[in-house]
Amino acid sequence: MTPKTLIFDINETLLDMDEVKSAVASALGNDALVPLWFSTLLHYSLVETTCERFHDFSDIGAAAMVMVGHSQGIALDMETARSYIVPAMTSIPPHPDVLTGLTRLKKAGFSLVALSNSSKAGLDHQLDNAKLAPLFDSILSVESVRKYKPSASVYHWACNQIVAKRKETMMVAAHGWDTSGAKAAGLLSAFVARPGKMEYPLGLAADMTVKDIQHLADILIG
């Protein structure tokens, strides 16, 4: 089924996280620790949801940096970690394919929605700085529901907010946990195979795999 509504993950899917990763590498003094930092960030966002607690995604990112630093004998406090994370997170550029791809999808009549684990203020800054905000019909942050993706409640809440049927809504993401989570919640999904990314082998397979947002537009518009 061709979806009517496309919900886009933001970080890594649409925005290039290289500047954030460079900031983390600078703080930790080691490029090789960046993947561990990002996996720790995602891990503890899920811990928050499972424990029915909620902290800002940037704060979890700072906490993850402190924890990774501690494991390597690097002393960082939360304030210092935030000083690296927050400015970098709000000023990252889009991937080269994103603006043209989203514009084509918008002109083709698809409803475009942003859904991010970032805070609402952070997400607004990200999309404004990337000059993508005008392309979206709705901009949604998990901050409003106080749970993180891939909790099914987040996808259900998003569909309710935009008054969209799940079977007519497609989650577009470069993370296997996000596409699998959306599928488990009853949505369609498209996996964006950014370099180094793959679907979770034990997860629910995405309905389609694309190399970038231009490729997604090629398939959906025909």
Q: Are residues 138 and 166 in the same domain?
A: yes
Q: Which of 51-55, 81-85, 186-190, 201-205 has the lowest mean pLDDT?
A: 81-85
State the total domains in the chain. 2
**The predicted structure's pLDDT at residue 45:** 96
Q: Are residues 64 and 103 in the same domain?
A: no
Q: Are residues 99 and 190 in the same domain?
A: yes
Q: Do 152 and 178 touch, CB atoms closer than 8 A?
A: no
What would the pLDDT profile of 111-144 be if each residue is shown by its tens digit? 999 999 999 999 999 999 999 999 999 999 999 9
Which of 57, 73, 89 is the endpoint of a domain? 89
Which of 36, 67, 89 is the endpoint of a domain? 89
The chain-wide mean pLDDT, for the chain, equals 95
Instruction: Reply yes or no on whether the pLDDT at 200 is more than 90.
Output: yes
CA pair distance 92, 20, nearest whole angstrom: 7
Q: Are residues 9 and 32 in the same domain?
A: no
What would the pLDDT profile of 67-109 be if each residue is shown by its tens digit? 999 999 999 999 999 999 888 888 899 999 999 999 999 999 9
DSSP string, 105-146: HHHTT-EEEEEESS-HHHHHHHHHHTT-GGG-SEEEEGGGTT
Q: Are residues 83 and 97 in the same domain?
A: no
Q: Which domain holds residue 79?
A: 18-89
Which of 89, 111, 145 is the endpoint of a domain? 89
Q: Are residues 186 and 166 in the same domain?
A: yes
Q: Are residues 211 and 106 in the same domain?
A: yes
**The predicted structure's pLDDT at residue 90:** 84
For the chain, percent of residues with pLDDT exceeding 90: 91
The upper half-sphere exposure of residue 109, i.e. CA atoms within 13 Å in the direction of its Cβ, equals 5
What does the chain come to in residues? Answer: 222
Instruction: Reply yes or no on whether the pLDDT at 1 is more than 80.
Output: no
Cis bond before residue 87 (omega within 30° of 0): no
Instruction: Reply yes or no on whether the pLDDT at 19 is more than 90.
Output: no
Q: Are residues 200 and 129 in the same domain?
A: yes
Instruction: Reply yes or no on whether the pLDDT at 43 is more than 90.
Output: yes
CATH number of the domain that residue 23 is part of: 1.10.150.240
CATH number of the domain that residue 202 is part of: 3.40.50.1000
Instruction: Return the DSSP state at 94.
Output: B
